A and B are shown apart, each in its own frame.
Chain A
Amino acid sequence: MKLKLIYPKWEKLKGQTTFNLPPHGPVAFAAALPDYVEVSFTDENVEEINFDEPTDLVAISMMLSTQVKRGWAIAARYRQQGVKVLFGGISTMLHAEETLLYADSVFLGEAEGSMEQVLEDWRRGELKKVYNHMMRQPPIQSVGPARRDLYKQELYNHKGVQMVDLFHASRGCRYSCYPCAVSYLGGRIFRPRPMDRVVEELATIDNNRLFLVDNSLAQNKAWEMELFREMIPFRKKWISHTIEDDPEVLDLAAQAGAWYVYQAVYDTSDYIRRRVKRYHDYGIGVEGTVLLGLDNQTEDDIRRLIDFLLEIDLDLAEFTVMTPFPHTKGYDDLLRQGRIFDFDWDHYNAGQVVFHPRHFSSERLQELYDYAWATFYGEESQEARMFRLFCKVAMREMSEGTYRARNRALAGKSFGKDVQRSLKG
């Protein structure tokens, strides 16, 4: 049977450098499909959907709230053609009730071990409206290597430089942070994959740069250290979320190839200053993730925070505005207080204000968001700072003999499109 797997596009944030990374959710899902399924994958962010391509079933995988409306529109078109549409993925779970209105079937939860039955139901014309696996997480050892063979690799390449590959060594999260829905989606129990399966998958990835998309690596110190020890021989360089703030762990992370980490910066404390410095001491870069518009932030606090980011020498900063995603405490709080004024999911991109902040107007928060980006990147642009981080990793790779020269055949392409060069006369 033929299954067309689609990852809907979304509108990128204005004024920011756009990089399209190969999405992990769809290829992790594809790995859970039986062998007899012939999968064709389209990431609409980098290529058009060919609606005329013959297919028996369509599966739409969605990660972001900003994808759901596009996903529903794609489904409508296929359903008009008489093709059944199955939805899954993170934002399908966050927006399940609405998605049901546009789907033949909605799969909630993790797909491993369940797709044989779903496809059998489809074959018999008895596809269920909902497959509720929210509380039936598969054994973590059943999570196999993602189907990266489905990527059209040349579409994830910018001027000859291949984008990082996404990889995960665990699921679930033992934290339940205010703006985050991960505990709802992946469960509150940290579930590390068996190390032999992690190593097996690492060995299949033909890319010397990765993004470890685990929710947080700082969930179990012994596991984290074992992971880093196992990663050392691969000599890959990688990005991740937070790493345990412990000299022994940071040292191992650096040996394992830590390139830079995403670190939440929520105040101007010495704790944050020291934490960023410690990463740098071990040669690990830091991209600060900075959430603006929380109830405890005044306008002065935000301005001070941005000055602080420049003082502590962050390599990169990513600013977002507080966004009340469904199934977060932030959503519950703002909903009860009647402060959410916009329920258009296309606007839930973390760059557009959809609620009334406590200390200033929503318009003012939008201005402060723009001010944050403009101020932090005022002296050195985002692209220039990214290039600096890129040079650092390239130098390390050269010294270790793992550097891969850029693909000159793709030097004139950016994510599959011709690079527009401006020639000065």
Chain B
Amino acid sequence: MNLSENYYDEVFSFNGHWEIPSRCGLRIIRRSGRSYVMVTELYLDNPGTSVTAAGESLLMQICRAKGLDPHEVIYIECNPDMNSKLSFYDEAYFRVTFSRDHPPSYRQLSLEEVAELLGPTPLSPPAL
């Protein structure tokens, strides 16, 4: 399986569950006064907790490290395309909303929505 570096601008190190050193891809885009944060699962290159399992703790760690206000962030999890024949390693994006009293809610985004929010994705069709 191969993960394209086009999914992220930097590899972000974070404390996972039980303080396990963990890593994810990170891209931050600031636009119109808002910050769009996309975390990408690195699978075998992540020695610890997945971005989904890390959840809000990961968002808070990114915000602390990058000086962002978590309430102003649009937070997106990315499953990158791994060039696998298995469909569950296909590219997928989820907008995640955290709340104090409920489990996180996830909404899968279409590639068009992602392109609108973040610009072209590695698998976006070429512009005509």
CB distance from B52 to the nearest CB of A (A): 4
Are B19 and A135 touching (Cβ within 8 A)? yes
Given A296-B86, A338-B106: A332 and B52 within 8 A (CB)? yes
Are A188 and B47 touching (Cβ within 8 A)? yes
Given A135-B19, A135-B21, A329-B50: A337 and B86 within 8 A (CB)? no
CA distance A336 to B49 in the complex (A): 16
CA distance A326 to B87 in the complex (A): 20
CB-CB < 8 A to A296: which residues of B?
A: 86-88
Are B52 and A295 touching (Cβ within 8 A)? no
CB-CB < 8 A to A101: which residues of B?
A: none
How many residue pairs link A and B with beta carbons under 8 A? The number is 50
| Additional A-B contacts beyond A296-B88, A329-B88 (10; CB < 8 A) | A96-B17, A96-B18, A132-B18, A134-B19, A176-B44, A178-B88, A295-B88, A332-B52, A335-B106, A337-B108
Residue B20 lies at the interface, judged by CB distance under 8 Å to chain A: yes
Give me 15 A-to-B residue pairs in the complex whose CB atoms sit less than 8 angstroms apart, sorted by A's number.
A96-B17, A108-B18, A132-B18, A134-B17, A295-B88, A296-B86, A327-B17, A327-B50, A329-B88, A330-B88, A333-B79, A333-B88, A336-B52, A336-B77, A338-B106
* Chain B CB within 10 A, most for which of A130, A135, A336, A337: A336
CB-CB < 8 A to A336: which residues of B?
A: 52, 77, 94, 106, 108
CA distance A336 to B93 in the complex (A): 10
Nearest B residue to A93, CB-CB: B18
The 9 A-B residue pairs with the shortest CB-CB distance, nearest first, are: A332-B52, A336-B106, A296-B87, A134-B18, A132-B18, A336-B94, A295-B87, A332-B50, A134-B20
CB distance from B75 to the nearest CB of A (A): 13
CA distance A283 to B108 in the complex (A): 49
Please count how many residues in chain A sit with their CB below 8 Å of the partner chain's CB atoms: 23
Instruction: Report B96-126 residues with CB < 8 Å from chain A CB.
Output: 106, 108
CB-CB < 8 A to A326: which residues of B?
A: 53
CA distance A188 to B18 in the complex (A): 16
Are A332 and B53 touching (Cβ within 8 A)? yes
CB-CB < 8 A to A108: which residues of B?
A: 18
CA distance A326 to B50 in the complex (A): 11
Q: Mark B22-46, 1 if CB is under 8 A from A, else 0.
A: 0000000000000000000001100
Nearest B residue to A330, CB-CB: B88
CB-CB < 8 A to B47: which residues of A?
A: 188
CB-CB < 8 A to B21: which residues of A?
A: 135
Residues of A within 8 A of B (CB): 96, 108, 130, 132, 134-135, 176, 178, 184, 188, 294-296, 326-327, 329-330, 332-333, 335-338
CB-CB < 8 A to A184: which residues of B?
A: 49
CB-CB < 8 A to B43: which residues of A?
A: 176, 329
CA distance A240 to B18 in the complex (A): 31
CA distance A384 to B66 in the complex (A): 64
Are A135 and B52 touching (Cβ within 8 A)? no
Nearest B residue to A133, CB-CB: B18
Nearest A residue to B87, CB-CB: A296
Pick from A135, A176, A332, A333: contact of B20, CB below 8 A: A135
Given A134-B18, A135-B21: A337 and B87 within 8 A (CB)? no
Nearest A residue to B21, CB-CB: A135
CA distance A338 to B103 in the complex (A): 11
CA distance A60 to B126 in the complex (A): 57
Are A132 and B53 touching (Cβ within 8 A)? no
CB-CB < 8 A to B18: which residues of A?
A: 96, 108, 130, 132, 134-135
CA distance A338 to B107 in the complex (A): 9
CA distance A184 to B21 in the complex (A): 12
Q: Mark B81-94, 1 if CB is under 8 A from A, else 0.
A: 00000111000001
Pick from B19, B44, B50, B106: contact of A337, CB below 8 A: B106
CA distance A326 to B108 in the complex (A): 21
CA distance A281 to B52 in the complex (A): 44
CB-CB < 8 A to B52: which residues of A?
A: 332, 335-336
CB-CB < 8 A to A329: which residues of B?
A: 43, 50, 88
CA distance A330 to B79 in the complex (A): 12
CB-CB < 8 A to A96: which residues of B?
A: 17-18
Are A327 and B20 touching (Cβ within 8 A)? no
CA distance A338 to B43 in the complex (A): 21
Nearest B residue to A109, CB-CB: B18
Are A327 and B53 touching (Cβ within 8 A)? yes
CB distance from A300 to the nearest CB of B (A): 16
Nearest A residue to B50, CB-CB: A332
* Chain B CB within 10 A, most for which of A130, A135, A176, A330: A135
